[in-house]
Amino acid sequence: MNRKKFVWRLMPLMAALAFLLTGCGDPTLSALDPKGPVAQEQLFLMKLSLGVMIFVFTVVMALYIYVLIRYRKRKGQEGVPKQVEGSHVLEVVWTVIPIILLIIIAVPTVYYTFKHSENYTENENILQVKVTAHQYWWQFEYPQHGINTAQDLVIPVGQPVAFEVVASDVIHSFWVPSLGGKIDTLVGQTNVTYLQADEPAVYRGKCAELCGASHALMDFKVVAMEQADFDAWVSNIQSPPAVPDSVAQGEEVFRTNCLSCHAVGADGMSMGPNLTGFADREMIAGILEHTDENLKNWISDTQSIKPGNKMPSFNLSDEQMNQLVDYLNELKLQ
């Protein structure tokens, strides 16, 4: 086969590989691109097991091919070849080597499993966050600061943050691929974990347990910031500025239609996401870019955007909708 033909025949393979590798892109949503110590240590475990497996595969394949070629049936060869059985040396070799390989995998795996199960939830020097998963959104409470918020999990960088995770309805799973995890959120049982981000950035979080029609849309953001910025965020969300009088009509629309499910005020608990600082959040409903158009689409037809979610759709007049959106856009933290 000439060179040109060979390259040509390689093309489908290359195309298939390129297609597969496109899944490895998003730097804020990849366990292969860790941004904190937990994720780094977990990636180390993945690489270690993969390395050992590649080693075993290579050695076994090499022996296999060697034996196939070396002991193939040759011209003029007749009958069954001489049978060899029982070799103490070989048996010891293929028993001892796997034991050594298992120890190489087991020691760090057990060590990091215990390390990552460390319970920091009693440690008052560490930021405590209580995560509650709902179909299909995330609630974040900061008991040390009296804050209840949703969808954007704000944390300081360079230190572990302790999480207590639960679910309100069905089993979900709390996962921030670039920081580590994941951990199931259950109803009536609290699981604990911790994560740490090293660089200020916005990381994507996902629900990692099939929980209903909009499981794949159950996103949240981890907004990691320097300690000083975090402290400012805490005091801002505790006492956000009052909305201007110009949106008083929108506030009335909100009171009539939304307030029964959505609290405003960082200490407020509600059935739906607390909307304090809503205008500053990264996304609408965790998945939509923050535009007036998207906000209107969301409010007027929530089911087409997140099927099965518990927020009803609202049939407001254009005027009311505009007033409501103007009001929501004023729910800023500073």
Q: Residue 136 or residue 298: which is nearer to ligand CUA going by CB?
A: 136
Q: Residue 135 or residue 148: which is nearer to ligand CUA going by CB?
A: 135
Q: Residue 207 or residue 234: which is nearer to ligand CUA going by CB?
A: 207
Residue 271: both structure tokens together: 């059935």
Q: The dihedral of CA 323, 325, 328, 332: what is its sign?
A: negative
Alpha-carbon separation of residue 14 from 1, 5, 9, 19, 24 (angstroms): 19, 15, 10, 9, 16
Residue 204 contacts ligand CUA per CB under 6 A: no
| Binding segment (CB under 6 A) for ligand CUA, from list 10-18, 207-215, 239-247, 281-289 | 207-215
Cβ-proximal residues to 307 (8 Å cutoff; 6+ apart), any chain: 213, 214
Interface with ligand CUA (CB under 6 A), residue total: 9
Write the interaction track for ligand CUA spanning residues 121-150; mark x where CB under 6 A is met and - where it is not.
------------x--x--------------
Residue 85: both structure tokens together: 């059985």
* Residues of span 214-273 touching ligand CUA by CB under 6 A: 215, 218
Sheet holding 191-195, edge to edge: 147-150, 137-142, 127-134, 161-167, 191-195
| Binding segment (CB under 6 A) for ligand CUA, from list 56-64, 67-75, 203-211, 262-270 | 203-211
* Of the candidates 303, 58, 262, the residue with the CA atom closest to the CA atom of residue 150: 262
Q: Residue 227 or residue 303: which is nearer to ligand CUA going by CB?
A: 303
Residue 164 contacts ligand CUA per CB under 6 A: no
- Can you give the length of the chain in residues? 334
Q: What distance in Å separates the CA atoms of residue 309 and residue 28, rounded to the nearest whole number?
A: 26
| Binding segment (CB under 6 A) for ligand CUA, from list 102-110, 194-202, 209-217, 305-313 | 209-217
Q: Give the one residue of 209, 251, 326, 330 binding ligand CUA; rule: CB under 6 A.
A: 209
Residues that bind ligand CUA in the complex, under the rule CB under 6 A = 133, 136, 172, 207, 209-211, 215, 218
